Structure formats: structure tokens, C-alpha cells
């Protein structure tokens, strides 16, 4: 009897450790790197292999989040712009709660949606941003109930394709990027109260859809990395909003949509137009000890992504172009290791799971490649519906989102 009780308690403890082992709390996961410590997500599967598959209300292009036993996913009703946030149980996809925001719809460009920006979450709250016809909103919901904790209006929002940059969390701060055609800024709000902790004015220009990344230099303090047309690439102290350095005038007047990514001690950022990447530059952050400044290390040539954000593995950086051409470059010098056409068109970004890379096409096909020095096509899986989203991975499960469905795929 005692032995059975101890065994049950031990299994419960192991379960709790597993559940809390890896959270995917923002767009592209920890620090926006698109990396997972998992190693056993399959490279080929069928619809019979899903743990569960659920239908979502409305249409959405945002990416799912995972915190312990909870999955958060957002969508919108395209007819009236209603924003919908759902909390699902990770084990079976059952609905825990749903919260809706009634909005005024606004004109959208082709191939876009009222639900583009991904939420961000922590152990207490879920945070989200959205744009209505004339306002840019940010709100916090209680993670367990979905009840609204606080809401802010950040003023007007002017953009051809609506709002799309996702907020991120750093410590007890919610950092909200707001680079747009109208009055622009970056704000850090108190996660608990929504009050402004710091705010930095930004130049107006072509609206940026780039989500910030966190750069953690060896032996140095964390840096908040922003990319926009008007400012190029900027580094801020995420705690205070103080500008560390900036590399302006690298994008000209071309739109920034993909997010910055850190690889090999360099910061990569890109711009594009008309569905094609136009320029990608690797920036070397300054070394305060050496007293130098930020500089362009090299420019990446050929088949540049516009919307998808690259993903790294060791010394390699994998570029997934919108047109279905994938390249591997050496981050040390920018030299191309290989370049191959995999087909399809892409808005979602690739993620790396162990030695494999997964990316979902706009047509709804998952393409799986080896994160290798040589090109290796491992699998193609049809999700049976279009998708503009990026997968999430947590505790041995990959979550794949199409326009109106969410699927959970367990490790082998």
C-alpha cells in the first residue's frame, strides 16, 4: 500500500517536471530564436498520428503558445473583426475558456487577416495586441480564467495591412513594438498593471511587421533588438529603454516584415517588397570593451526571405525564402553552403527541432529538412488547409496551426 502511494507520487512528480520543462510563450519561442530542445518530433506523419485536432472559430494567421498544460491560440471573425482568444487543454484540445473583443473592422490587403500578431504569455497572464479601424490596443487576460485584467489604447494605427508585429515579455515588462506610418514608438508596460514603465519615440515610416528579438551576448547584459525601415537595426536596454546602438539607413525605404535573428554572434535582419526579399545584412554588435561601433559584417546574397524569419543551428543559418527556395549559409562569412528549391510559397517561419527544420507553406504543406551541411529532404505532410503560421513546440509536442484548425503532434 505504502509502496503504491510512493510510486503514484513519483509518477505525478515526473509528470509535473515534464509539463513545466519547456514553455513556448511567444512568437518563435524563447528569445524569438525558433529553437526547441526536443529531438523526437517525427519527420513524416499522417492525420491519424495527431493527439488531437480541433476547429477554431474564424480565421487566424497568428501562432499558438504553450505554457505548462495550456495552449493559447487567437483568431478573428473576418466579417466584423471580432478578436477571439481561446485557451485549450494541452492533453486533449478541450476548451478551457474563450474571450472575445468586439472591434471595428478595417480594410485589409490581399492574403492578410484581422488576426496576425501572436499573443505572449507568462505564468499569470496572456497579453495581446490588435488594431481596430482607428486604434491600437493592448490587453492582459488572466491565464486561468480569461478575464480581462487591464487594457490600454496606444492611439491611432496607420498601416496598409493592419497590425502584425507581436509583443514580447522581458522579466516583468511587456514590450510592444509600434513602428507604423503614423506616430511610432516602442513601449514597455508593467505586466501586472499595464502602466508605462518606459517609452521611446520612433520615426514614422513604412509600417514594420517585425517582432523584437532578445540578444544575450557572452558576459554582457541582454539587449532588445528592433528592426524597421525608418531606424534600420536598433539595440536597447530592455529594462530602461536606453539606446545601446543603432545601425540606420540599411533598408532604404523597403519594408521590414521578417524578425531579426541572432546567430554566430551576429544579428541578421532583412527587408523586402512584392513577396520577395530585397536585402539581408549581418550586423556585428559593438564590443564595449574594445570601444568599437556596430557595423555591417557582410551582406547575404541571393534568395533572400521577405516574410519568413531564418533559423540557426551551430555555425549555419537556414534562409527560407517566400518563393520556396531554401539556403544554408555559413554565419562566419556568409558563404552559401547549399541552395535548393522545395516548392510552395511561405509566410510562416521555420523552426528547428533537434537536427530537423520544419516550415509550413501557405498552401498548408509542412516541409521537413535536415539541419545539415548537405541538403536533405526528410518529409512533406499535407495539413489539408492553408496556413500562414509558425509551429510551436513544448514538452515533446508540436502544435501546428492552419487558418481554422489546431493540431497537436507528439514525439516518436
Give the pLDDT mean for 29-56: 95
Instruction: Give every strand in the sheet of 173-178, ordered side by side.
Output: 168-170, 173-178, 184-190, 196-202
Out of 21-25, 60-64, 190-194, 256-260, pick the least confident: 21-25
Name the band, by pLDDT with cuts 50, 70 and 90, for residue 264: very high
Q: Name the residue among 258, 241, 137, 150 with its Cα closest to residue 197.
A: 241
Q: What pTM, to 2 d.p., does this model score?
A: 0.92
pLDDT score for 132: 77
pLDDT score for 13: 38
Name the band, by pLDDT with cuts 50, 70 and 90, for residue 337: very high
Percent of the chain with pLDDT over 70: 91
Residues near 380 by beta carbon (within 8 Å), at least 6 away in sequence: 365, 366, 367, 368
> Tens digits of per-residue pLDDT, 83-96?
999 999 999 999 99
pLDDT score for 305: 97
**Average pLDDT for the chain:** 90
Give the pLDDT mean for 235-259: 93
d(CA 263, CA 187): 26
φ, ψ at 9 (rounded to 5°):
-65, -40
φ, ψ at 303 (rounded to 5°):
50, 55
Residues near 219 by beta carbon (within 8 Å), at least 6 away in sequence: none
Residue 114: pLDDT over 90: no
* Contact between 137 and 153 (Cβ < 8 Å): yes
pLDDT score for 190: 98
d(CA 82, CA 79): 8
Percent of the chain with pLDDT over 90: 75
Higher pLDDT, 153 or 20: 153
Name the band, by pLDDT with cuts 50, 70 and 90, for residue 115: confident
Give the pLDDT mean for 161-189: 91
Out of 3-17, 257-271, 278-292, pick the least confident: 3-17
pLDDT score for 22: 81
User: What letter does residue 24 receive in the DSSP assignment?
Assistant: B
Rg (CA), the chain: 20
Strands 35-36 and 351-353: parallel
Residue 189: pLDDT over 60: yes
Bridge partners, residue 266, by sequence: 263
Amino acid at each position: 500500500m505504502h509502496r503504491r502511494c510512493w510510486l503514484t507520487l513519483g509518477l505525478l512528480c515526473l509528470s509535473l517536471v515534464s509539463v513545466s520543462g519547456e514553455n513556448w510563450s511567444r512568437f518563435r519561442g524563447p528569445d524569438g530564436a525558433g529553437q526547441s530542445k526536443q529531438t523526437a518530433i517525427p519527420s513524416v506523419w499522417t492525420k491519424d498520428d495527431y493527439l488531437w485536432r480541433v476547429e477554431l472559430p474564424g480565421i487566424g494567421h497568428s501562432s499558438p503558445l504553450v505554457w505548462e498544460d495550456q495552449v493559447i491560440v487567437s483568431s478573428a471573425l473576418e466579417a466584423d473583426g471580432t478578436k477571439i482568444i481561446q485557451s485549450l487543454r494541452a492533453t486533449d484540445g478541450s476548451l478551457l475558456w474563450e474571450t472575445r473583443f468586439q472591434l471595428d473592422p478595417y480594410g485589409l490587403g490581399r492574403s492578410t487577416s484581422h488576426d496576425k500578431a501572436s499573443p505572449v504569455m507568462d505564468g499569470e497572464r496572456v497579453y495581446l495586441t490588435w488594431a481596430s479601424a482607428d486604434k491600437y490596443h493592448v490587453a492582459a487576460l488572466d491565464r486561468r480564467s480569461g478575464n480581462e485584467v487591464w487594457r490600454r489604447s496606444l492611439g491611432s494605427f496607420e498601416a496598409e495591412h493592419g497590425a502584425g508585429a507581436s509583443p514580447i515579455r522581458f522579466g516583468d515588462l511587456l514590450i510592444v513594438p509600434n513602428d507604423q506610418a503614423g506616430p511610432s514608438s516602442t513601449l514597455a508596460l508593467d505586466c501586472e498593471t499595464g502602466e508605462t514603465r518606459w517609452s521611446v519615440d520612433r520615426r514614422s515610416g513604412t509600417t514594420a511587421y517585425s517582432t523584437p528579438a532578445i540578444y544575450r551576448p557572452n558576459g554582457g547584459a541582454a539587449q532588445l533588438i528592433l528592426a524597421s525601415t525608418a531606424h534600420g537595426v536598433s539595440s536597447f536596454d530592455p529594462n530602461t529603454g536606453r539606446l545601446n546602438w543603432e545601425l540606420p539607413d540599411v533598408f532604404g525605404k523597403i519594408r521590414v516584415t521578417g524578425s531579426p535573428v541572432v546567430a554566430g554572434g551576429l544579428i541578421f535582419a532583412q527587408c523586402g517588397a512584392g513577396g520577395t526579399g530585397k536585402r539581408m545584412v549581418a550586423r556585428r554588435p559593438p564590443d564595449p570593451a574594445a570601444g568599437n561601433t556596430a557595423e555591417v559584417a557582410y551582406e547575404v546574397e541571393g534568395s533572400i526571405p521577405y516574410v519568413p524569419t531564418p533559423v540557426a543551428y551551430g555555425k549555419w543559418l537556414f534562409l527560407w525564402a517566400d518563393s520556396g527556395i531554401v539556403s544554408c549559409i555559413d554565419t562566419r562569412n556568409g558563404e552559401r553552403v547549399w541552395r535548393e528549391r522545395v516548392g510552395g510559397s511561405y509566410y510562416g517561419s521555420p523552426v528547428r527541432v533537434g537536427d530537423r527544420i520544419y516550415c509550413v507553406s501557405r498552401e498548408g504543406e509542412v516541409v521537413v529538412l535536415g539541419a545539415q551541411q548537405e541538403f536533405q529532404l526528410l518529409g512533406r505532410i499535407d495539413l489539408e488547409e492553408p496556413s500562414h503560421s509558425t509551429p510551436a513546440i513544448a514538452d515533446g509536442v508540436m502544435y501546428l496551426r492552419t487558418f481554422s484548425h489546431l493540431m497537436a503532434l507528439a514525439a516518436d
